[in-house]
Amino acid sequence: MNTVDRASAPGADGSVGDAPATRTMTYLQAITDALRVEMRRDERVFVLGEDVGAFGGAFKATEGLFDEFGADRVQDTPIAEAAIIGTSVGAALAGLRPVCEVQFADFVATGFDQLVNVAGKMHWRTGLAVPMVLRLPSGGGFAGGPFHSQNPEAWFMHAPGLKVVAPSSPADAKGMLAAAIRDHNPVCFLEHKHLYRRIKGEVPLGEHVEPFVARTVRSGEELTIVAYGAMLHLAVEAAGRFEDGRVEVLDLRSLVPLDEEAILASVRRTGKVLIVDEANETCAAGAQVAALVADRAFSDLDGPVRRLAAPDVPIPFSPGLEAAVLPTADRITEAARELLAY
Amino acid sequence: MLVEDPHPPTPDRAPGAPPGRPSDDVAGPPAEDVSPPVLTLADREALLELMVGMRTFEERGVALYKQGRTPGSFYDGHGQEAIPVGATFAMGPDDVLCSPLIRDMGAHLVRGTDLTEIIRHHLGRDNALSRGREGNVHFGDPRRGVVPMVSMLPDMFVVAVGMAMAFRLRGERRVALTFFGDGATSPGAWHEAMNFAGLRREPVVIVCENNGLAYSTPSSAQFVVSPADRAPAYGMPGVVVDGNDVEAVFAAVHAARERALAGDGPTLVEARTMRMHGHGSHDDARYVDPALLEVWRQRDPIATYEATLREAGIDVDAVRTRVLERLDLAVEAALASPLPDPARATDGLFATEEPVPLGRGDAPWSGFAAEASIGGSGR
C-alpha cells in the first residue's frame, strides 16, 4: 500500500463530469457503497474489525470489499476493541485513514479509553490529527436486548474532540460516511441497525459527500420536531398525521458539531419544539438541544420545551417490553398534539 | 514496605549479564544472531552526555517544582537514565517514538527536542510542544517523530502497534519504539497490544522499564510471571537486559530493531532497574527500604559509566560543564517567556487541514551515518 491519493485520477469513481446518476439502495447498501467508493478514491483508506473480511461483517456492511481490496485493506481482527481502536489511532497518526467497525455499538465501551482519552484529545493537546472513523451499528427495535440495542452517542458528545454523526437516510448514510472518512478528525458514525434493510432510497452513484449539518425534511409553521437516526422516521410519520404545513421535522444528522443555527431558526419560527431521542433520556443529545433552545430561543417560545426519549433503563429483550420503552409514532403524535394545543 | 530486591542477582538473571539474552522458549531467532553494533568513543561520550543531561535537567526540575515555579507536579527518572537514552540511541531518524513515558526524558534529548521548549512546557508557559495545554511528562515533538504520551497506560503501546502496522502496510523500513513500565503490563490493553503485535509481526520495539514499583505497589503484588517471560506466549522473544547499563540497553534494542526491520516482528526488551525516587516529587517513597536503595545506588548508571569512560580517556568533567551551561541558558530563557493566552484555551479542538506527517528525529549513533554512506539500510 502506498499513500498516493487518487482523488484526482480521472474516472476513479465513475462520476466525473455530469451530475451523478442515482440508484435505489438500502441504508446498508449505501454504507457499503460509501466504503467502496472512498477506498477506490484514496488508498490510505482501509477497514478493520471483527469478521469484516471474507465474511463481510456481522451485518454484511463490508460485503465484497475483501475480494476487491484484499486482506491488508479489509482486515479481520481479534475480538479486542481497545486494540482495534488503538491501532487505528496509530495508523491514522502514521498517515492512513482507518475505518473501524465495532460489531455492535454497545461493544465500544471496551475500547472507550482509546477514543475519549487518546483520539479525542490528541489534536487539541498536541496538534496531531487523528483522521479515523468508528462505525457503530446502534439502536434497538428488533429484540436485541441490553447489549445489542444501545444508542451510545451521548457518551461521545461529552468527550471533546470527537465528531458524532447519525444519518437517517440511505443517501445521507453514504454521503456522511464519505465525509467522515475525508474528515481530519475521529468521527463516531452511528448507523442505525433497524434502518439497515428497512429503509431504501435514491442514492447518488460515485462520489457523494454530505456535510455535517441539519436538514429540514418537512416544513411546518406551528411546531418543530427535532429527531435523528431511526427516530427521524417516526417523527415524519407522526408529523404526517397532522394537516400539511403545521409540523416541521428537523433531522439533526450531526450531533457534534450540532447545527445550532438550524435548530434555533426553526424553533424561533414555530415557537414550539418536541425533541425525540431513542437513547436513554438523561443527558441524551436531545437534552443538549433542549438546553440550547431554553438558553437562546426562550423569548420565541409559545410552549414548554418537550422531550420524548427512552427511560433510563437498559433496552429490554422481549418485544413487548422493548416497545414499552422506545418512543413510538403514537407517542410522538400524542406529544405533538398536546403541544399544538398548548 | 518494599524490602526485597525486585530483581535479585542470581546466576541465571544477573544484572550486567551480556545484552540480548533471551528468556526461555523464544519465538523466532534469538537476538544474538545479529552482529553487535559498534559504539565509537564519540558515541559513548554522547551516551554519557545524554544521561547526564537527563539527570541534570530533572534535578533542576525538582528544584523548580519545590520552589513553586512549576505548577501541578514533577516526575523524574533518577537512576533509570540508561533506558530511554540507550533505547532511543538505537533508533534511526525515521523511526517513531510512541511514546516516551514518565521516566524517559532522555529519549526526548536523543531526538534533539529543544530544551528551552521542554522547560517552558513544564513551567506552563506558552511553548511549541503543548501550548500550555499539557504539563510535566506529557509532551513530545511530532516534528522529531515523537508522539506525546497519555496518562492511561499502556495506551500508547496500542497506538505504537498501529503506527508499526502502517509502516508494514506501506512497505516502509522503519519501526515504532514504545516504552512502558512494569505496572503497565497489568491492564487488558497490554494483552491486546501484545497479541496484535505478535499475531501480525508488526515492526514494533517494545521496551518495558521494570523498576520494581507501580507507584507504591511492588512487582511481587502485581504479577507472577515477568513481562519478558510472558512475551513468548505472544509469539515474540522477551529479552532481559540490565537497565542500568546504557550500552547493554542500546545493544538489546538495536537487535530488536534489526529483527523488526527484517520482518521478524516485535521483541519485548525488559530493562530491569530500580526507581530511586518517589513516583513524583510529591511522593517521599517511604515505602521503600533505604538499604535497598543503597544497594542500587552502587549501580548508578551514570556513575558507573563515567568511571568506564574516564578510563577510556574521555573528559567527563567537560561533559558535565557543557550540560550545565546548556541547561542554565535554557532555564533562563524559559523563565523569561510568557504564559499562554487564556483566550486561546478552546481553539484547535478539531483539525481543519490535511494532517502534517511526523518529522524525522536526530539519530546520533555513528552507525546510521556509516550505513548511509555505504547506501545501506537502517533509515
> Which residue matches cell numbers 540507550?
B86
pLDDT score, position B7: 84
Distance (Å, whole) CA B241 – CA B220: 19
Distance (Å, whole) CA A172 – CA A208: 9
* Among A72, A94, A185, beta carbon nearest to B351: A185
Distance (Å, whole) CA B97 – CA B112: 13
Mutate to test the interface with B, among A46, A77, A87 (most CBs of B within 10 A): A87
The DSSP letter of residue A116 is: I
What is the pLDDT confidence band of residue A8, given thresholds at 50, 70 and 90? very low
Whether chain A has a CB inside 8 Å of the CB on B173: the answer is: no
What is the pLDDT confidence band of residue B236, given thresholds at 50, 70 and 90? very high
Which residues are paired to A251 by β-bridges? A215, A227
- Is the pLDDT at A14 greater than 90? The verdict is no
Summarize the confidence of residues B234-262 as an average pLDDT.
98
Distance (Å, whole) CA A294 – CA A303: 11
Summarize the confidence of residues B223-229 as an average pLDDT.
97
Summarize the confidence of residues A238-266 as an average pLDDT.
98
Question: Helix crossing, B41-66 with B115-123: angle to 10°?
Answer: 20
Estimate to the nearest angstrom the gap between the alpha carbon of B316 and the chain centroid. Answer: 23
Number of H helices, E strands in chain B: 12, 8
Percent of chain B with pLDDT over 70: 91
The three-class DSSP label of residue B127 is coil
Closest residue in A to B348 (Cα) is A124
ipTM exceeding cut-off 0.85 for this assembly = yes
Distance (Å, whole) CA A259 – CA A291: 14
Nearest in space to A71 (alpha carbons), one of A91, A95, A55: A55
Closest residue in A to B153 (Cα) is A113
Cα B250–Cα B251–Cα B257 angle in degrees, nearest 5: 85
pLDDT score, position B26: 41
Summarize the confidence of residues A67-84 as an average pLDDT.
98
Whether chain A has a CB inside 8 Å of the CB on B204: the answer is: no
Closest residue in A to B127 (Cα) is A126
Summarize the confidence of residues A224-246 as an average pLDDT.
98
Considering only residues 88 to 107 of chain B, which have any Cβ-Cβ distance to chain A shorter than 8 Å? 96, 98
Q: Which tens digits make up the pLDDT trace of A186-209?
A: 999 999 999 999 999 999 999 999
What is the pLDDT confidence band of residue A91, given thresholds at 50, 70 and 90? very high
pLDDT score, position B3: 79
Q: Which tens digits make up the pLDDT trace of A247-257?
A: 999 999 999 99
pLDDT score, position B23: 45
What is the pLDDT confidence band of residue B5, given thresholds at 50, 70 and 90? confident
What CATH number belongs to B56-338? 3.40.50.970
Distance (Å, whole) CA A97 – CA A3: 10
- Which run of H or of E encompasses B260? helix B246-261
How far, CA to CA in Å, does A212 sit from each of A62, A137, A176, A183, B362?
A: 23, 19, 7, 10, 41
pLDDT score, position B34: 54
Nearest in space to A323 (alpha carbons), one of A194, A232, A133, A229: A194
Distance (Å, whole) CA A50 – CA A139: 19
**DSSP per residue, B61-107:** HHHHHHTT-S-S-----TT-THHHHHHHHT--TT-EES---TT-HHH
Distance (Å, whole) CA A281 – CA A295: 19
Whether chain A has a CB inside 8 Å of the CB on B161: the answer is: yes
Q: Which tens digits make up the pLDDT trace of B43-95?
A: 999 999 999 999 999 999 999 999 999 999 999 999 999 999 999 999 999 99
Distance (Å, whole) CA B291 – CA A14: 75
B328 contacts: CB under 8 Å, gap ≥ 6: none
B115 contacts: CB under 8 Å, gap ≥ 6: B57, B109, B326, B327, B330
Cβ–Cβ gap A94/B167 under 8 Å:
yes
What is the pLDDT confidence band of residue A3, given thresholds at 50, 70 and 90? very low
pLDDT score, position B21: 43
pLDDT score, position A209: 98
Task: State the nearest Cα–Cα gap between A117 and chain B, in angstroms.
Answer: 7
> Which residue matches cell numbers 526526548?
B108
What is the pLDDT confidence band of residue A20, given thresholds at 50, 70 and 90? low
B157, B184 contact by CB (below 8 A)? yes
Percent of chain B with pLDDT over 90: 87
- Which run of H or of E encompasses B222? none
Delimit the domains of chain B by residue range: 56-338
pLDDT score, position B4: 82
The DSSP letter of residue A119 is: I
Which three cell numbers, joined as nine digits, stand for A23? 440508484
Phi-psi label, residue A149: left if phi above 0, alpha if psi -120 to 50, beta otherwise:
alpha
Whether chain A has a CB inside 8 Å of the CB on B194: the answer is: no
Q: Which residues of A are catalytic?
A: 148
Which residues are paired to A207 by β-bridges? none
Which three cell numbers, joined as nine digits, stand for B168? 508494514
B220, B210 contact by CB (below 8 A)? no
Cβ–Cβ gap B351/A123 under 8 Å:
yes
User: Which residues from chain B sit within 8 angstroms of residue A256, using beta carbons?
Assistant: none
Distance (Å, whole) CA A228 – CA A254: 8
Q: Which tens digits make up the pLDDT trace of A288-339?
A: 999 999 999 999 999 999 999 999 999 999 999 999 999 999 999 999 999 9
B231, B30 contact by CB (below 8 A)? no
Which three cell numbers, joined as nine digits, stand for B82? 540508561
Mutate to test the interface with B, among A125, A164, A188 (most CBs of B within 10 A): A125
Estimate to the nearest angstrom the gap between the alpha carbon of A144 and the chain centroid. Answer: 19
Please state, as a whole number, how many other Cβ atoms lie within 10 Å of the Cβ of residue A7: 12
Sheet with A306-310: strands ordered across: A215-218, A245-251, A220-227, A273-280, A306-310
Nearest in space to A133 (alpha carbons), one of A207, A194, A196, A212: A212
pTM of the model: 0.93
pLDDT score, position A1: 38
